[in-house]
Amino acid sequence: MQTVDARPVGNVELFGATLISLPSEVTVAEAMNVLGRQPAVKWVVPNMKAHFDEVIPTDPLFPEQWGLSNVGQTHGIADPPPLSVEGLNDADIDASDAWSTTTGSAETVIAVIDSGIDATHPELASSLWTNPDETPGNGIDDDGNGYVDDVYGWDFIQNDATPEDSEGHGTFVAGVIAAAQGNAIGGSGVCPGCRIMALRQRNLAQELASIAYAIENGADIINASYGYDVFLQPEWKAFAAAYLEGVLSVVSAGNAAGNNDMALGDSNHDGQYDAPLFPASFDLPGIISVAASNDSDEYGHLTGCFIATQSDACIFTNVGHDSVDVAAPGVDVTSTAPGDGFSIQNGTSFSAPMVAGVAGLVESLHPTFSPLQLRNAVLNSVNRPASLAGGWTATSGRVNAAGALSAPTGSTVPVSSGNVVTAKVTTGRSNGSLAYPSNVNDVYMARLRPGIRYGVLLDVPAGRDFDLYVWKPGTVQVWQFEPSCNGLGGCKWLLVSSARGKGKDEFVTFRARRRGTYYFQVTSFFSSGKYRLSAGVV
């Protein structure tokens, strides 16, 4: 063979490299032999396929952790029967791929604000944060932070230095984040090299103290796998302060099968508040709100249930295009339990630490990232399987640990006009459209004069159910229903609303009591269509 009938198909000019395609009858070895003798060819090499390194731990329970590495293996479930199921290949967070780059750094501290942690568990004892300025057991507040002997955190329930877990929730969360790897016990955490700061709490006051402790004692990330069914201004301010102090917060979306973009209350009459839930629904840049996905990259539902629609009774995860950012494994999750044990659980409580662990890996590799850069890296690198499409979360995706390590850190998730921060200015008349579930809120703002009576009319499309809310100046986000609200009356931030039902136009009048920016919210109740909003003096 003297020549090769090769066809150029691409080039990289900077390196003088040309990619060629060979005819089927010519082998790569034959082509290299012929082309390598040509005077004009300086070098010739095969177009080798890159092999990405993967770390597969030898820990005995690792095969059960489908969320970290899913090859379609059989794994146990939380709600049998059946006793086990098989997942979908690659419906996982690619943790084993990420570990070839980093398993986390001891300098990365993730505060688990929860029910405490079993500090003696063999999977967690080596992963606990240690206060470098505190001498254990000497009865002295060595570092002057207001807490005596706070070696690995604080119990704000008992007000002591041993935040032990009597419920199991916090221990399970901590194991998802940072269970030890390669110790021949149990499984592995997402970020086994990271350190866990244990903070035990059960109410708002204790939560606020925990967030303050995390900020003041060097936490990089907060995991908050809990929620309230009302907007609490002090809690909003605490998470806002954490962001400003350089701390990213990862929170669970909730398990009520609700849509956090909507004011649902107890819509299915099961005695449980459905949505919105907080802090998951806080419109803050320092929060990642996480829904649950399963081993087939579907939104979280109980194993064995038939999924007909997203409102099917089997679904448990909360969603929300504006309020929930991403999905992560939260069905049949295997992790640590108190007393050196292990268990399998369902819930967005365990999806959030998956993402907190991913953020920990990114933080370990890029310690200078701001909370916003860290958040963007996580959200810009999601996988988007068709089964998670439809606008049920902001990204319509499932978190990917390997991708997050090298993802762009600019904001690429589309900005919605569905909240106060991104409200559109209206000069009196605005046309728009809503589409459930990907866009159920539009918010407009107008500067109004005190003492003037205004009217706002919402022309609702035929047969559709749209509602109208007017929020007072100082409102930081929609659905800012605080404990002062009795139903929808007596609310501190809601001025007036109209919800007359399907196909009926909505109209409100009110007197502006002070000068300022007022917000007009058009919201869909499981409906889609075009509307017209008119506002003016009456």
Instruction: Decide: 119 and 198 in contact? Cβ < 8 Å.
Output: yes
Select from 2.30.30.30, 2.60.120.380, 2.60.120.20, 2.30.30.40 the CATH code of 420-537.
2.60.120.380
Cα 461 from Cα 503, distance rounded (Å): 6
Determine whether domain 92-404 maps to CATH 3.40.50.200: yes
Q: Residue ranges of the domains in the chain? A: 1-49, 92-404, 420-537
Buried b / exposed e along 145-154 (16+ C-beta atoms within 10 A): eebebbbbbb
Are β-strands 529-537 and 453-459 bridged in parallel, bridged antiparallel, or unpaired?
antiparallel
Give 411: exposed, middle or buried? Use CB within 10 Å, 0-12, 13-18, 19+.
Answer: middle
Q: What is the pLDDT along the chain (538 residues), one digit of tens a residue?
A: 567 888 888 888 877 888 888 887 888 878 888 888 888 888 888 886 544 467 889 899 999 999 999 999 999 999 888 899 999 999 999 999 999 999 999 999 999 999 999 999 999 999 999 999 999 999 999 999 999 999 999 999 999 999 999 999 999 999 999 999 999 999 999 999 999 999 999 999 999 999 999 999 999 999 999 999 999 999 999 999 999 999 999 999 999 888 999 998 877 666 677 889 999 999 999 999 999 999 999 999 765 554 334 444 567 999 999 999 999 999 999 999 999 999 999 999 999 999 999 999 999 999 999 999 999 999 999 999 999 999 999 999 999 999 999 999 998 887 788 999 999 999 899 999 999 999 999 999 999 999 999 999 999 999 999 999 999 999 999 999 988 886 555 789 999 999 999 999 999 999 999 999 999 999 999 999 999 999 999 9
Interhelix angle 169-178/348-365, rounded to 10 degrees, is 40
Buried b / exposed e along 163-178 (16+ C-beta atoms within 10 A): bbbeebbbbbbbbbbb
End-to-end CA distance of the chain: 91
Cα 265 from Cα 236, distance rounded (Å): 20
Q: Would 92-404 and 420-537 be classified into the same CATH topology?
A: no
Residue that is written with structure tokens 């929808």 in the block? 488
Interhelix angle 348-365/371-379, rounded to 10 degrees, is 110
